[in-house]
Structure 1
Amino acid sequence: MDFFNSFDLSYLINISPSILPLIVLPLIGLIFKKYIHSKVKRLVDKTNWKIDNIIFDSFENSILFWFVLFGIYLSLSQLPFQSNILDFALNLNIAVIVLSISISVSNVSVKILELFASNNKSFPSTTMFSNLFRIIIVSMGLLIVFQNFGISIAPVLTALGVGGLAISLALKDTLSDLFAGLHILLSRKVIPGDLVELDTLQRGVIENITWRNTTIRDRTNNMLVVPNSKLSTAIITNFDVPVKHLTARISCGVSYDSDLDKVERVVIDVAKQVINDVEGANKNYKPGVTFLNFGESSIDFRVFIGAIDYSGQWSVTHEFIKRLHKRFKLEGIEIPFPIRTIYNKNEK
């Protein structure tokens, strides 16, 4: 009985309004997640606008968390007393809210950037630009947090300027690769997806351009890593500029006894069959054949067949050689072996 007499009910009554948001807002978040979320999701999926899907998917997992954080903030701000610990808790809560929103906004911005890049081939979409957007947005959130804690930004920026000079000297090669990567992307020397050949005769498809290096996947699926500073000064052959299609060049030779008009007709006929049947061939390409020279044991010629990409030219070449060899046998056209006649003067 003494316990109930000593218990101050007025204190509980005073703090009860501050506890209410801590209970109500998370409940609202649970109700939204369970009942409203699915309806909004169906509504978003019905639209042809992709940005609303990006925004919804990016904020989906954070909504309940934000309700809880706002409930904590309202509860702390309505407590009927003041203290340094309470002020620090409020600032910490605001910092978590700001950083959480900054990360979600950065995710939305990066996805919208990638969507814009996929619809606009003149704008490159790489890991470098994505990370740059993330850093800028999160840094803005950190500046708001510093300001909320009463930390002056000017000394921080001054320290960063002095420290940046020392760091730039220590990380000279890294910064060189960074600015070289930006130069490559903005000049559109190469972009991800391009088939290139370096002056070192290494050939492959550009996979990604990051802060420090560019990754190139060769025909055997090996990954070549080239520093951006090296790539920016290298002599590069870009097979996808001005057009992406490639031409497979297949060399062959026939006997001197062959009817060259017949050879030309047969070769063109086989090439047309390959273009129609082989996946990877350029269906709009008109095949050609050119006789090159009189060889030591054959009349040499070269066949030109269009392919849609780098891997397609190997499929076209493979199938054409098989079919041409079979067709030459049926037509009685000889592909001669190298022959050399030796005269012996001492022979009687």
Structure 2
Amino acid sequence: MSLGERVLVSLGVFVAAGGIGWAIDYAVRYVLHALARRTHWVWSEIVAESLRGHLLAASILGGGMWISRWWEISPTATAIVDKFLAVAALFLLFSWIFRFSVRAVRHLLRGSDGRIPAVSILANVVRISVVLLAASVILQTLGIPITPLLTALGIGGLAIALALQDTLSNLFAGLHLLAARQVRPNDFVQLDSGHEGVVEDINWRTTTIRTLANNLIIVPNSRLANTILVNYRLPQPELSLSIPVTVVYGSDLERVEQVTLRVAREVLREVSGGIAKVEPVVRFRELGDTGIHFVVVLQVARAEDQSLLRHEFIKRLYAAYRAEGIEIPSHLGVMRVPKHR
């Protein structure tokens, strides 16, 4: 067979391998997508998306292996081609592992509301781990010893660790926070400094918190790990909102309680963030200098809803007290709330 004919046959094999690979890739992903839709098994979808294009590339690579044997080249050239194809196969394998690992981590971190939190530190750790593993395997396949390289990296790593103590401290503090699940993306937290907001991201150095005013607070991971904070999402996102109220001496406390509970039920039923199925509570606390103090306890769905519920409750309670003639004390004396005329 002439050289030209060999080249044409080789091109035909590549085209045929590409066509077969495309068909296999399409068929496998179609079956996996159908299985995911029918059984709602998310891992089928993850495997299907991570396989996109890899079966086609594997088929073309198989065609290349067949052609390398068919050409009957010299042993030296065969060894070189075999190493090249082995490296290509390993690269393809680890490329799939890379895709699958990232998608698997994103699925495992997916919240109950379906949103995927941003956790840069975990995604980067997975990526770096796969790349390092792939590099070590490929170097060994090429016959390059990695022991001297690891020794050099160990000595250099010690010097780098001493120079980057703060950075490494933040890195391991971030990993500790995620492993302990004390702070997670989408958690609403309040720091001991008084700052509060939703955790946006935990990366290799800092944690980003978005406040209700839509500003960002950047906290080093090591400092966050050592601070005292309140996590309003744990053990559950629902929480009790306590609102202090005071009425003057001489008030009919039964009527005060009835009016207050009526307003509280109305707010929980009509205002977003209130949990109407949980009955509000009124608890008288003490006989103070200016009047009788008590608290109203409302059940709130999320910490972010406290402000609106408190606002609506105070506004409507004042209107109800005004309509009922219930008096509210002030530091200047009794505040008489006249009824509507």
Question: Quick check: TM above 0.5?
Answer: yes
* Match of residue 126 from structure 2: 133
Deviation at 1:176, TM superposition (A): 0.8
* Match of residue 201 from structure 1: 194
The answer on 1:316 being equivalent to 2:309 is: yes
- Residue 172 of structure 2 aligns with an amino acid whose one-letter code is F
* Match of residue 4 from structure 1: none
Identity rate, percent: 33
- Residue 325 of structure 1 aligns with an amino acid whose one-letter code is Y
Q: After alignment, is 11-20 or 62-71 more displaced?
A: 11-20
Deviation at 1:56, TM superposition (A): 0.5
CA distance in 2: counterparts of 1:281 and 1:22, whole angstroms: 64
* Match of residue 26 from structure 1: 18
Match of 2:43 among 51, 74, 94: 51
Measured on the aligned residues, the alpha-carbon RMSD in Å equals 3.1
CA distance in 2: counterparts of 1:117 and 1:41, whole angstroms: 21
Match of 1:105 among 97, 101, 106: 97
- Residue 305 of structure 1 aligns with an amino acid whose one-letter code is L
Sort the Cα spacing of 1:74 and 1:19 in 2 relative to 1 into closer, same or farther, 3 A. farther
Deviation at 1:54, TM superposition (A): 0.7
Sort the Cα spacing of 1:319 and 1:108 in 2 relative to 1 into closer, same or farther, 3 A. same
**1:204/1:219 contact within 8 Å kept:** yes
**1:103/1:138 contact within 8 Å kept:** no
Sort the Cα spacing of 1:253 and 1:37 in 2 relative to 1 into closer, same or farther, 3 A. closer
The answer on 1:240 being equivalent to 2:249 is: no
Where do residues 172-191 of structure 1 align in structure 2 (5 Å cutoff)? 172-191=165-184
Sort the Cα spacing of 1:232 and 1:30 in 2 relative to 1 into closer, same or farther, 3 A. closer
Q: Deviations over 1:231-256 (max 9, x none)?
A: 11112223334443222222333344
Sort the Cα spacing of 1:204 and 1:77 in 2 relative to 1 into closer, same or farther, 3 A. farther
Deviation at 1:229, TM superposition (A): 0.8
Aligned with 1:269: secondary structure?
A: helix
**2:98/2:130 contact within 8 Å kept:** yes
Deviation at 1:83, TM superposition (A): 7.9
- Residue 23 of structure 1 aligns with an amino acid whose one-letter code is V
**2:35/2:41 contact within 8 Å kept:** no
TM-score, with normalisation over the residues of structure 2?
A: 0.83
Q: How many residues align?
A: 329
Deviation at 1:275, TM superposition (A): 2.1
Deviation at 1:86, TM superposition (A): 6.8
**1:17/1:78 contact within 8 Å kept:** no
* Match of residue 33 from structure 2: 41
Deviation at 1:177, TM superposition (A): 0.8
The gaps in structure 2 that reach 5 residues or longer are 335-341
* Match of residue 274 from structure 2: 281
The answer on 1:71 being equivalent to 2:56 is: no
Aligned with 1:249: secondary structure?
A: strand
Where do residues 262-341 of structure 1 align in structure 2 (5 Å cutoff)? 262-282=255-275, 283-296=277-290, 298-336=291-329, 338-339=331-332
Which of structure 1's runs of 4+ aligned residues deviate more than 6 A? 83-86
CA distance in 2: counterparts of 1:73 and 1:135, whole angstroms: 30
Where do residues 140-219 of structure 1 align in structure 2 (5 Å cutoff)? 140-219=133-212
CA distance in 2: counterparts of 1:37 and 1:107, whole angstroms: 15
Sort the Cα spacing of 1:143 and 1:21 in 2 relative to 1 into closer, same or farther, 3 A. farther
The gaps in structure 1 that reach 5 residues or longer are 1-8, 342-348
